[in-house]
Amino acid sequence: MHPAIRILTLLALAAGAGRAAPGAVALMLAGVAAAWLATPGLGWRAAVGQLRRLRWLLAAVLVAYVGFTPGEPLWPGLPWSPSRAGLEAGVLRAGALAALALAVQVLVALTPVPALVAGLRWLLAPCGTRFAERLALRLALTLEAVGPARERALAAAAAAGARPGALVRAAGALWRETLAEAAARPLEPVAVPAAGRPRPWEWLVPAAVLAALLLA
């Protein structure tokens, strides 16, 4: 499938996540789960790890909706009770966010970085060739640096342990090391591949995903 179509499909899922209707969220979770399990290199352990990294963000979304959405209280006999509407909205928003995060991982796992950059450049071509190429190049360099930076961050966090002061010092040292490495890195030519046109039937994929989520 053309990389631009894959990106548009992810954007269609993002539109469904913004709607967060019960049927749309259930459809998103089912579809993303099927795509995740069908993607080589991914599995339920990787999904659990990804959601574990997002646990505080998902918890914050849930607490925000549960704590600040007015409506019928779940436990009327208590001095304070979350609303039923807030709990439902929080669960739906957290579920939609989790599905979208997993969908991004599926896109990255299925699409090599050069193809992803080529798809983005093809989508941005109407904005101007120079703008599309510069943005695609920056994306390529960013994605190339994410892997090594993540490994260094995990190593620094493991060495610092759970001590807040040590974590702050490790983060500062990692930031300075990354900036120094970027400044010392020699300039190298980077080739941004070109992408042809998507096949006509491929446009039906993001359109079908968006229609299914809006009608669910």
pLDDT > 90 fraction of the chain, expressed in percent and rounded: 6
At a CB cut-off of 8 Å and minimum separation 6, what does 149 contact?
A: 178
Using CA atoms, how far apart are residues 103 and 101, in angstroms rounded to an integer?
Answer: 5
Question: What's residue 156's pLDDT?
Answer: 65
- Across-strand partners of 73? 83
pLDDT tens sequence across 114-144:
788 888 888 887 777 777 777 777 776 676 6
Residue 92 shares a structural domain with residue 118: no
Residue 152 near residue 137 (C-beta atoms within 8 A): no
Residue 128 shares a structural domain with residue 171: yes
**Is 190 within the bounds of a domain?**
no
Residue 83 shares a structural domain with residue 53: yes
Question: What's residue 146's pLDDT?
Answer: 64
**Per-chain mean pLDDT for the chain:** 80
* Prediction pTM value: 0.76
pLDDT tens sequence across 24-72:
888 888 999 998 888 888 888 888 888 888 888 888 888 888 877 877 7
Bigger pLDDT: 168 vs 32: 32
Across the range 185-213, mean pLDDT stands at 81
Question: What's residue 204's pLDDT?
Answer: 93
Instruction: Look at residues 88, 83, 106 and name the one whose alpha carbon lies nearest to residue 29.
Output: 106
Residue 78 shares a structural domain with residue 141: no
Residue 102 shares a structural domain with residue 122: no
Using CA atoms, how far apart are residues 146 and 163, in angstroms rounded to an integer?
Answer: 25
Question: What's residue 130's pLDDT?
Answer: 75
Question: What's residue 69's pLDDT?
Answer: 80
Using CA atoms, how far apart are residues 14 and 100, in angstroms rounded to an integer?
Answer: 7
At a CB cut-off of 8 Å and minimum separation 6, what does 185 contact?
A: none
User: In 3-state terms, what secondary structure has residue 73?
Assistant: strand
Residue 166 shares a structural domain with residue 65: no
Question: What's residue 53's pLDDT?
Answer: 80
End-to-end CA distance of the chain: 25
**Is 201 within the bounds of a domain?**
yes
Using CA atoms, how far apart are residues 119 and 5, in angstroms rounded to an integer?
Answer: 8
Question: What's residue 172's pLDDT?
Answer: 75
Residue 148 shares a structural domain with residue 163: yes
- Cα–Cα–Cα angle for 201, 204, 210, rounded to 5 degrees: 170
**Is 16 within the bounds of a domain?**
yes
Residue 173 shares a structural domain with residue 71: no
Residue 170 shares a structural domain with residue 203: no
Greatest mean pLDDT among 12-16, 46-50, 204-208 lies in 204-208
Residue 91 shares a structural domain with residue 5: yes
Bigger pLDDT: 135 vs 106: 106
Count other C-beta atoms under 10 Å from residue 84's C-beta: 14
Instruction: Look at residues 72, 99, 101 and name the one whose alpha carbon lies nearest to residue 87.
Output: 72
Question: What's residue 60's pLDDT?
Answer: 87
Which of 75-79, 85-89, 112-116, 143-147 shows the lowest per-residue confidence on average (mean pLDDT)?
143-147
Position 171 pLDDT exceeds 60: yes
**Is 93 within the bounds of a domain?**
yes
How many independent structural domains does the chain possess?
A: 2
Residue 78 shares a structural domain with residue 177: no
The domain of 119 spans: 114-185
Using CA atoms, how far apart are residues 131 and 123, in angstroms rounded to an integer?
Answer: 11
Question: What's residue 148's pLDDT?
Answer: 67
**Is 191 within the bounds of a domain?**
no
Instruction: Look at residues 150, 46, 58 and name the one whose alpha carbon lies nearest to residue 100.
Output: 58
Strands (E), 20-89: none
Residue 150 shares a structural domain with residue 162: yes
Across the range 162-189, mean pLDDT stands at 70
